[in-house]
Chain A
Amino acid sequence: MTHLALEGVGFVYPDGTRALSEVDLTIVPGEVVAIVGQNGSGKSTLVRHLDGLLRPTEGRVLHDGTDVAGVRVATLAAAVGIVFQNPDRQIFAGRVQAEVEFGPRILGRTPQEAAETATAALEAVGLSDLADANPYDLGFSRRKLLTLASVLAMETAVVVLDEPTTGQDARGVARIQGVVERLVAAGRTVIAISHDMRFVAETFSRVVVMGAGRILLDGTPAEVFAEAAWPTLASTYLEPPLAARVGARLGLGATPTEASLIEAMGAQG
């Protein structure tokens, strides 16, 4: 279990672009957190601080209360696994099964353990039939599922997903929702960046809204998609899910999910 904390984190890229300012964020083990915000608002930069791929130019990043400055990425990555937005930056093996086994082997698992966790991870993302395929023969959406399997196989305490539903069809999105639910049931921490507000409202219990490198809102879907928060969402170019907008127009209060909207409509009669 890894308790994550960012304290006053700021980050400026070498070319002078400021990506994060004064970010304070604590995520306790077992939380399921979505990070939303306009393109370029600092979401991907933020999660790269969690495993040390980026180091803050201001402030501190803590794992279990200890500042991770100076701790190697390889060490941090054993606790925090990140599935990147672009699968092609993450894939390198010639066979799907080998690609997924690589992570656990690097972490020191025996070949048999690595094979078993890889097989289970491929099963979880629905790629079991393609274990012998070449990753580069897979379409974009399957390559994304493959990188998800690779990170699942590392069995990290924290799993970070950068836009996991990009390019996925309805079944793919449902599968990813299932993966998140199983991770949560197993007590793992899940953090996902997404632009898909319906996926966010239906899958995550906490939503962090970012704009221009700062945290603007942090609460439950009912809180951050409530009508009072709409102006703040608009400032980072976000719209609440359709169910929330319809619920507000019908005077039903906060209905971030379709199920909650239909429920509220039914209760009103």
Chain B
Amino acid sequence: MLQLHRIGYRYAGYATPVLHDIDLSMADGEIIGVVGANESGKSTLSLVASGLAPGSIGGALTGQLSIDGIDMAGSPLHEFSTRVGIGFQNPATQLSGVTGSVFEEVALGPMNLGLTGREIVDRTNRAMAVLGIENLAEREPRRLSGGQAQLVVIASLLAMRPAHLVLDEPTAQLDPEGTRLVGEALRGLAATGTALLIAEHKTDLLDGLCSRIVVLDGGRIVADGAASDVLADPRLVDWGVEPPSRIRLGRAANARGLDAALIDGAIGS
């Protein structure tokens, strides 16, 4: 259980905070989607929840962040890194740059956890298989396309099997199939008890994946509830968030006096 209580955060060198009064708890096995317009605080929330802000990048944090009941205030970054994994928006910034092959890149995390050789190889193979990237095992990491790099980064995180995982737009550069595989992999990871926080613009992905959705606007939580309720909230558009395709299509049909149930039926069939 990762808990944020009345969290505020201000970047170093800035006069005003970008997060205000954030209350959020991630229960084991829960998948929470975070949506909001650009600059609404999604990436900052990801950095704070993973301890990188202020742990790595400085800035001022107020409120309380606790993991499994332990207050993490002032905890060194390595204390966070064994409890919370983070996947950045831009995979190019996350690849280690020190490995010569994708296999080594994915194995790097488990190696640093001090696991046995057999366990490292096993976890690495499984993580790559789940995302369908076994064929990239021998590829040089810097030779990957943007989407391939994103899958490799997610495989590295899966192989770490963190208790909590924060992902900032994990599918931004992925094709629809890659997006689907990541969704399945994350569902599988949550089933083992990992709590997930996923910042995403793709509400179509969150629609089927998350049990709960949090909406950020101007650094504050403006909605927090069951995914089906929040994604159908008419205020979503005002918050700069695109509703899922099925909801948008249904509304367009309604606006023309057509039967939206026809669309639901066609999607369901």
Interface size on B, residues (CB 8 A): 46
In contact, A265 and B175 (Cβ under 8 angstroms)? no
**Is B143 in contact with chain A by the CB < 8 A criterion?**
yes
Known contacts A167-B201, A168-B38; is A258 also within 8 Å of B249 by CB?
Answer: yes
Further contacts, 11 of them, CB under 8 A, given A40-B145, A169-B36, A169-B240: A39-B175, A86-B90, A88-B92, A139-B43, A142-B38, A166-B172, A166-B173, A167-B201, A172-B38, A195-B173, A245-B267
Say yes or no: is A12 at the interface (Cβ < 8 Å to chain B).
no
Contact A170-B146, Cβ < 8 Å, known A242-B249, A246-B263: no
A257 to B256 alpha-carbon distance, docked (Å): 16
Q: Please name the residue on chain A nearest to B173 by beta carbon.
A: A166
Tell me if B248 counts as interface (CB < 8 A to partner A): yes
Q: A163-B173, A239-B176 in contact; A246/B249 too (CB < 8 A)?
A: yes
CA gap between A185 and B204 in the complex, in Å: 32
By size class, the interface of chain A is 35 or more
Cβ of A230 within 8 Å of any chain B Cβ, yes or no, is no
Q: Measured between C-beta atoms, what is the minimum distance from B39 to chain A in Å?
A: 6
Residues of B within 8 A of A167 (CB): 38, 89, 169, 172, 201
Task: Report A-chain residues with C-beta under 8 Å of the C-beta of B148.
Answer: 39-40
Pick the residue among A37, A242, A266 that contacts B245 (CB under 8 A).
A242
Q: Supply 5 A–B pairs (Cβ within 8 Å), ascending by A.
A: A89-B92, A163-B146, A170-B37, A259-B252, A262-B252
Residues of B near A241 (CB, < 8 A) are 245
The answer to whether A37 and B266 touch across the interface, beta carbons within 8 angstroms, is no
A160 to chain B minimum Cβ distance, whole angstroms, is 15
Contact B267 A246 (CB under 8 A): yes
Question: How far, in angstroms, from A197 to B176 measured CA to CA in the complex?
Answer: 9
> Is B54's beta carbon under 8 Å from chain A?
no
Which of B90, B237, B252, B269 is within 8 Å of A88, CB to CB?
B90
Is B173 within 8 A of A258, CB to CB? no
Please give, as numbers and ranges, the residues of chain B lying within 8 Å of A237 by CB-CB distance: 175-178
B245: A residues at CB distance < 8 A: 198, 241-243
State the Cβ distance, B18 to closest chain A Cβ, in Å: 10
Interface residues of A in 42-87 (CB under 8 A from B): 44, 85-86
Report which A residues bind B (CB closer than 8 A). Answer: 13, 15, 17, 37-40, 44, 85-86, 88-89, 139-142, 163, 166-173, 195, 197-198, 237-239, 241-243, 245-246, 249-250, 258-259, 261-262, 265-266
Q: Do A39 and B174 touch (CB < 8 A)?
A: yes
> How far is B148's CA from A44's CA once the two chains are assembled, in angstroms?
12
Asked if B242 is at the interface of the complex by the 8 Å CB criterion, the answer is: yes
Q: A85 — which chain B residues lie within 8 A by C-beta?
A: 146, 173
Q: How many Å from the CB of B37 to the closest CB on chain A? A: 5
User: Please, how many angstroms separate the alpha-carbon atoms of A241 and B169 in the complex?
Assistant: 20
What are the nearest 3 A-B pairs in CB distance? A39-B147, A237-B177, A249-B266
Question: What chain B residues lie within 8 Å of A245 (beta carbons)?
Answer: 266-267
Which residue of B has the minimal Cβ distance to A247?
A: B266
Counting CB contacts under 8 A, is B60 at the interface? Answer: no
Contact A44 B145 (CB under 8 A): yes
Instruction: Please judge, given known A-B contacts A139-B43, A242-B245, whether A262 and B253 are in contact too, CB under 8 Å.
Output: yes
Cβ of A15 and Cβ of B39 under 8 Å apart?
no
Q: How far is the CA of A88 from the CA of B43 in the complex (A)?
A: 17
Q: Are A37 and B241 in contact (CB under 8 A)?
A: no
List chain B residues, Cβ under 8 A from A170: 37, 201, 237, 240-242
Contact check: which of A37, A39, A171, A243 meets B173 at CB < 8 Å?
A39
Partner of B262, one of A13, A139, A258, A265: A265
B143 and A15 within 8 A (CB): yes
- Give bound CA distance, A245 to B267, whole Å: 8
Is the beta-carbon distance between A169 and B92 smaller than 8 angstroms? no
**Cβ of A265 and Cβ of B143 under 8 Å apart?**
no
Cross-chain contact of B201 among A37, A44, A169 (Cβ < 8 A): A169
Contact with A along B163-193 (1 / 0, CB 8 A): 0000001001111111100000000000000
Q: Does B86 contact A (CB under 8 A)?
A: no
Task: Output the nearest chain A residue to B138 by Cβ-Cβ distance.
Answer: A15
Contact indicator B258/A265 (Cβ below 8 Å): yes
Whole-angstrom distance from the CB of B262 to the nearest CB of chain A? 6
- The reply to whether A140 and B89 contact each other, CB–CB distance below 8 Å, is yes
Q: Is B151 an interface residue (CB 8 A)?
A: yes
Bound-state CA distance A170–B201 (Å) is: 8
The residues of B that contact A17 with a CB separation of less than 8 Å are 139, 143
The residues in B between 227 and 269 inclusive whose CB is less than 8 angstroms from any CB of A are: 237, 240-242, 245-246, 248-249, 252-253, 256, 258, 262-263, 266-267, 269
